[in-house]
Amino acid sequence: MRGSCSTFVDVDSCICGNNQTWRDFVEKYAGVVHAAVRKVIQAKVFRASQDDIQEVAQNVFVRLVKKDFNLLRRYDPTRCSMATYLTIIARSTALDYLRYGFFNSIPLDDFDRDARVEAFEPDDSLDLPEGVLTERQTTILRLLFYKDYDVSMAAEALGVKAQTVRSIKHQALARLREHYEQARAS
């Protein structure tokens, strides 16, 4: 039998499929999971909604039951408390969502309309190769290099964090370098 401090929740019973025990488990630890997810996401995402945070928190519990409760079976009460174990899994889940782009893309409809229009005005001085950059990368390069926005102004106009603008700028420049190096080699 496994359990945690204060109110005991029978993890083995959850693994065996007891619905009431699983509901008790989720109810007891939902706050811990939600807090861990919220802390990670709000540290990295400028405009994360509560729905986004809730979706990631729910995914933590989905991970626990995946592959016949594999993660829940691996819990060892001699190594840490259940709250600590779930916090680690919740942080990992939130970081996976951030890493794989769940929050890193903002629909173009969410951009500030004036910034989007200004960034896409015809500009004869901008000669970017077709199909190398994403629309978002092109927008950021136009704002930074041709409209003379600083990083914080571009971030505010697009509704993202300054680090996101710096990261996308870096990705865009890396793509352009690679493209021009290949063109030079051929």
pLDDT digits (tens, 9 = 90+) for 71-95: 888 888 888 889 999 999 999 888 8
Range ranked top by mean pLDDT from 10-24, 33-47, 80-94, 139-153: 80-94
Q: Specify the range with the lowest mean pLDDT, choosing from 3-17, 54-68, 149-163.
A: 3-17
Residue 8's pLDDT is 59
CATH class of the domain whose range is 108-185:
mainly alpha
Q: What is the 3-state secondary structure (H, E, C) of the chain?
A: CCCCCCCCCCHHHHHCCCHHHHHHHHHHHHHHHHHHHHHHHHHHCCCCCHHHHHHHHHHHHHHHHHHHHHHHHCCCCCCCCHHHHHHHHHHHHHHHHHHCCCCCCCCHHHCCHHHHHHHCCCCCCCCCCCCCCCHHHHHHHHHHHHCCCCHHHHHHHHCCCHHHHHHHHHHHHHHHHHHHHHHHHC
Structure pTM?
A: 0.52
Residue 122's pLDDT is 46
What radius of gyration do the chain's Cα atoms show? 23
pLDDT digits (tens, 9 = 90+) for 132-180: 888 888 888 888 888 888 888 888 888 888 899 999 999 999 998 998 8
Please list the residue range(s) of the chain that carry CATH number 1.10.1740.
Answer: 11-99
Residue 117 confidence (pLDDT) above 60:
no
Residue for token pair 């009460």: 77
Residue 29's pLDDT is 92
Residue 135's pLDDT is 86
Q: Please, what is the average pLDDT of the chain? A: 79
Percent of the chain with pLDDT over 90: 18
At the topology level, CATH places domain 11-99 in Rna Polymerase Sigma Factor; Chain: A (1.10.1740)
Please list the residue range(s) of the chain that carry CATH number 1.10.10.
Answer: 108-185
Residue 126's pLDDT is 62
